[in-house]
Amino acid sequence: MKWIVFFIFLLSLLDAKTNIKSLQYSGVKATHNGKPMLVERIQNGKCLDIPITPNTLYSNYIDKKAPIECKKTFLTTLGILQPISIDKDIKTVGELEVLEHIKKAEKEPSKYILIDSRRVDWYEQITIPTAINLPYNEIALDEDFKEDFGKMLTMLNIKKSKKGLDFSNAKTAVLFCNGSWCVQSSKAIFILIDMGYPKEKLLWYRGGLQDWLAYGMTTTLNNH
CB atoms within 10 A of CB 119: 16
pTM score, whole prediction:
0.86
Cα distances from 209 to residues 31, 104, 216, in angstroms, run 19, 20, 11
- What's the gap between Cα 112 and its chain centre? 12
Residue 22 in any domain: the answer is no
Within 13 A of 102's CA, how many CA atoms are on the CB side?
28
Residue 13 in any domain: the answer is no
Domain of residue 133, CATH code: 3.40.250.10
pLDDT of residue 198: 97
Residue 33 in any domain: the answer is no
pLDDT of residue 145: 58
Residue 154 in any domain: the answer is yes
| Residue 140: domain span | 91-214
Question: Is the torsion defined by CA of 117, 121, 126, 130 positive or negative?
Answer: positive
Residue 194 in any domain: the answer is yes
Residue 61 in any domain: the answer is no
Question: How does strand 91-93 pair with strand 35-39?
Answer: unpaired
How many domains does the chain contain in total?
1
Residue 50 in any domain: the answer is no
Which regions in the chain score pLDDT beneath 50? 1-16, 18, 224
Residue 98 in any domain: the answer is yes
